[in-house]
Amino acid sequence: MTVKQPSRWQSAGGSLLFAGNIFILFLLIFGNRVVLPPWLQVLGRMHPLLLHFPIVLILVAGVLTFIRLREPAAEAWKQQLAGALLLAGALSAAVTVIMGLFLSGEEGYNGSGTLQWHKWSGVSMCWLASLLFWLGQSPINRPVLQKGGVLITTVLLVITGHFGADITHGENFVLAPVTPAGKGPQVPFDQALVYEHLVKPVLEEKCMNCHNAGKAKGELAMELPAQLLKGGKSGKLFVAGKPEMSLLMERLHLPLDAKKHMPPAGKPQLTPEEADLLYYWIKGGADFKMKVAALPAHDSLRLLATAILQPGPSAAPVYHFAAADEKLVQKLNNNYRVIYPVALNAAPLVVNCYNKDQFNSKSIEELLPLKKQIIEMHLQKMPVQDADLNIIAQFPELRVLNLSFTNVKGQTLSALAKLPHLESLSLSGTPVTFQQLLALKAAPALKELYLWNTSLSAAELDQLPAAFKQVAIIKGFKDDGKESLKLNQPLLANTSPVFRSTAQLLLKHPVKGVEIRYTTDGSVPDSVSSPLFKDSLLLQDNTTIRAIACKKGWYASDPVQFNFYKSAYTPDSVVLLTQPDGSYAGSGAKTLCDGQKGGTDQGNQKWLGYVKEPMIAMLLFKQPVPLQSVSVGILRNINGYIFPPAKLEIWGGPDAQHLKLLKRIIPAAGKKDDPAAAMEVAGTFPVTHVSCVKLVLDPLLKIPGWHPGKGNRGWVFADEVLFN
């Protein structure tokens, strides 16, 4: 038998491999006492780059171990190649393990179970590969041991890679697509918890790959509620109730190329729905134990949860009827009755009546020509009689009917049960009886029934849910005067903050007997000297309303602010000549003329965001309009890299080929401590008849030096354009 003699390079490689394994053993024993210089930290961070080499080399060497060649010379050459590959694989494995041990000592790796499994499986694989090499250099051939060792090494490679993927990409990264945890919430709606079944899955999928027990970047782990509340190196992760002040939301909405944007560029980003879910969870108080079913029926978080837990068709209603004659709508509008579309240029109409001295049955009869378009009728506090319900029953498209505090006694409620689409009915403040209400069981689409401050007893109210199994019974608050509570803020009934010529401000409050006081000069209203809001308030220009609710024996509510904007002309079409950047595409071109304002939340899909190039929009009118003012809604959020535009240009003319510059505005630059705010940039000019308007909104070319993003381009955000 010929004794195999190792070559010079095999001897040198074996010695180097032995030294590497001894160094690994030293690091395992004394690693927590070793302080690494920066250049060794750099080597440690190269661990993910090098780890692929030992995997490939050891696997190829293992495959060669199972191959037998007939020719002795070829078999000898194959053994030499397998030995060389195994030596290279074992050496690179040793270097990779050493780098990994260096990396595990850095901040953010706290020795979790996953990290320990990854470390020890990697070390075991390295040592076993080294033993296989030395075994192959021995004079005695042991094929069974070699093959068994190769199989064990392969298993260790898979285990090590699995735990490494969990550290890098989050728990169960490899198996997530084929396990239930990767398929979304599998829990009944009435048992679902907001955090556990909605918020946590988003964090697990998009955040915990870098912020877990094994890899807490920025000293932030997100696996447990206590860790979320603690925050990380940069401070608290969120402020309960204040998403606009929360670090989590700020980092999510930074530009994608910003250094502090989370998740980092190249990682899977949150969808708009996921970002909204986190926003509304924080806004609602960031409760870790709240049930989805406990949220109010129209709460934004509940609506999002419903879509996730009970996916189905879009909740947006589809109306199969044509728009009403605009002249007829204008004719039926008067000083005590307002008819308006649910959204700009939409067919469905809403009716609001006020001034009870001017109201009678004819006020409803006159609306019958619009019976195929009216979907909401608000008649609260009007002297509606039981006989009038027979007239209301002739409006087949009616979805919402408010009869609160009217003269309805309930004798003809059965007429309303014939309405095929009636979903919400309010009878609060009326003397309806339990037996009369039972006639509404035949209403096919009824979902909500408001009955606070009625003559029904507590026992009767408790019986109603059993009689109306598919209907939400809103009992409301019963004012017995026994304790002083703080009123909630007044509610706005208007559906759009943008109006064409005039608008009736409609404020309401769910508590009976409340007074609403308001101001229009920006000052805070008080309960004594500020004007008293009655049925409505006529708005004729841009107006800021601040209002409070007051009642004797109660604490006044916090003030609430509503902004209204006049836009005398609405373009017939809008074209974006440059496209928004990132996910800030709003509703496309119609974002500029949909009658909605974006508010201060940059991630609510109501803004157009630009950073790489200016926003250039063309707005067209079928007939020339006399313009003297154009205003563009903008957002300022300095922490979010969103600055006022560097420049706004307004061009106008008879068509796109014959435009002249009407106004160039350079707004005040953003300052370091400017609060986040939705603003207007307006330009006035001599009256000009135009059919085409071009807007050019330039983003800031260079962020100032005092900002973390200094030198980069700033974002510019735009929403509604007002024409007057």
State the pLDDT confidence band at 568, using cuts at 50, 70 and 90: very high
DSSP single-letter state for residue 90: H
Cα–Cα distance measured from residue 537 to residue 516, given in angstroms and rounded to the nearest whole number: 12
Number of neighbours of residue 236 by Cβ within 10 angstroms: 15
- Determine the length of the chain: 724
State the pLDDT confidence band at 51, using cuts at 50, 70 and 90: low
- How far apart, in Å, are the Cα atoms of 723 and each of 72, 644, 682? 91, 20, 10
What pLDDT is recorded for position 600?
80
What pLDDT is recorded for position 315?
45
Contact 648, 632 (CB under 8 A): yes
Evaluated on CA atoms 701, 703, 709, 710, the torsion sign reads positive
Question: What's the gap between Cα 615 and its chain centre?
Answer: 24
What pLDDT is recorded for position 662?
95
Question: Look-up: residue for tokens 């004012």?
Answer: 479
What pLDDT is recorded for position 344?
65
Burial class of residue 595 in the structure, from the number of CB atoms within 10 Å of its CB (0-12 exposed, 13-18 middle, 19+ buried): buried
State the pLDDT confidence band at 307, using cuts at 50, 70 and 90: confident
Q: Which range has the worst mean pLDDT, 2-11, 325-334, 590-599?
A: 2-11
Question: Look-up: residue for tokens 């206590």?
Answer: 226
Average pLDDT over residues 568-572: 92
Both tokens of 96, joined, read 């990779």
Most confident listed range (119-133, 257-271, 705-719): 705-719
Most confident listed range (86-95, 146-155, 234-243, 643-652): 643-652
Burial class of residue 168 in the structure, from the number of CB atoms within 10 Å of its CB (0-12 exposed, 13-18 middle, 19+ buried): middle
- How far apart, in Å, are the Cα atoms of 259 and each of 271, 609, 705, 709? 20, 18, 16, 8
Question: Look-up: residue for tokens 């999510």?
Answer: 252
Of 522 and 388, the one with more pLDDT: 388
- Which numeric CATH code is attached to 491-566? 2.60.40
Both tokens of 157, joined, read 């490679």
Longest CA span, the chain: 120
Q: Which of 301, 279, 315, 276 is nearest to 193 (CA)?
A: 301
State the pLDDT confidence band at 719, using cuts at 50, 70 and 90: very high
Helix (H) or strand (E) holding 356: none
Cα–Cα distance measured from residue 627 to residue 614, given in angstroms and rounded to the nearest whole number: 23
In the chain, where the domains are located: 8-169, 180-309, 326-474, 491-566, 573-723
pLDDT tens by residue, 444-463 = 999 989 888 888 888 888 88
Residue 118 φ/ψ, nearest 5 degrees:
-65, -45
How many Cα atoms sit within 13 Å of 632 on the Cβ side?
32
What pLDDT is recorded for position 49?
57
State the pLDDT confidence band at 313, using cuts at 50, 70 and 90: very low
pLDDT tens by residue, 586-613 = 889 999 998 888 888 887 788 999 999 9
pLDDT tens by residue, 84-119 = 776 776 677 667 767 666 666 655 455 555 667 767
- Which numeric CATH code is attached to 573-723? 2.60.120.260
Of 46 and 692, the one with more pLDDT: 692
Q: Which CATH architecture has domain 326-474?
A: Alpha-Beta Horseshoe (3.80)
Which region holds residue 162: left if phi is over 0, alpha if psi is between -120 and 50, else beta?
A: alpha
What pLDDT is recorded for position 3?
44
Is the pLDDT score of 327 beyond 70? yes
pLDDT tens by residue, 354-400 = 888 889 999 999 999 999 999 999 998 899 999 999 999 999 999 99
pTM: predicted TM-score of the whole model, two decimal places:
0.43
pLDDT tens by residue, 187-209 = 777 778 889 888 888 888 788 77
pLDDT tens by residue, 419-448 = 999 999 999 889 999 999 999 999 999 998
Average pLDDT over residues 47-51: 57
- How far apart, in Å, are the Cα atoms of 89 and each of 84, 95, 138, 171, 357? 8, 10, 18, 28, 93
Is the pLDDT score of 212 beyond 80? no
Q: Round the average pLDDT of the chain to a whole number and report it.
A: 81
CA angle 13, 18, 21 (to 5 degrees): 125
Beta pairing class for 374-378 and 349-353: parallel
Q: Which range has the worst mean pLDDT, 97-111, 115-129, 480-494, 549-563?
A: 97-111
What pLDDT is recorded for position 699?
95
Average pLDDT over residues 640-664: 93
Is the pLDDT score of 483 beyond 50? no
**Beta strands per DSSP E along 287-399:** 337-341, 349-353, 374-378
Q: Which of 705, 395, 438, 692 is nearest to 569 (CA)?
A: 692
What pLDDT is recorded for position 411?
92
Is the pLDDT score of 517 beyond 60? yes
What pLDDT is recorded for position 2?
44
Cα–Cα distance measured from residue 250 to residue 279, given in angstroms and rounded to the nearest whole number: 10
Q: Give, to the nearest 10 degrees, the angle between helix 113-137 and helix 143-169.
A: 150
What pLDDT is recorded for position 89?
66
Q: Which range has the worst mean pLDDT, 184-188, 230-234, 417-421, 608-612?
A: 184-188
Q: Which of 423, 422, 377 is nearest to 404 (CA)?
A: 377
Question: What's the gap between Cα 473 and its chain centre?
Answer: 30
Is the pLDDT score of 277 beyond 50? yes
Residue ranges of alpha helices (H) inside 611-709 are none
Contact 411, 387 (CB under 8 A): no
Is the pLDDT score of 138 beyond 70? no
Contact 617, 577 (CB under 8 A): yes
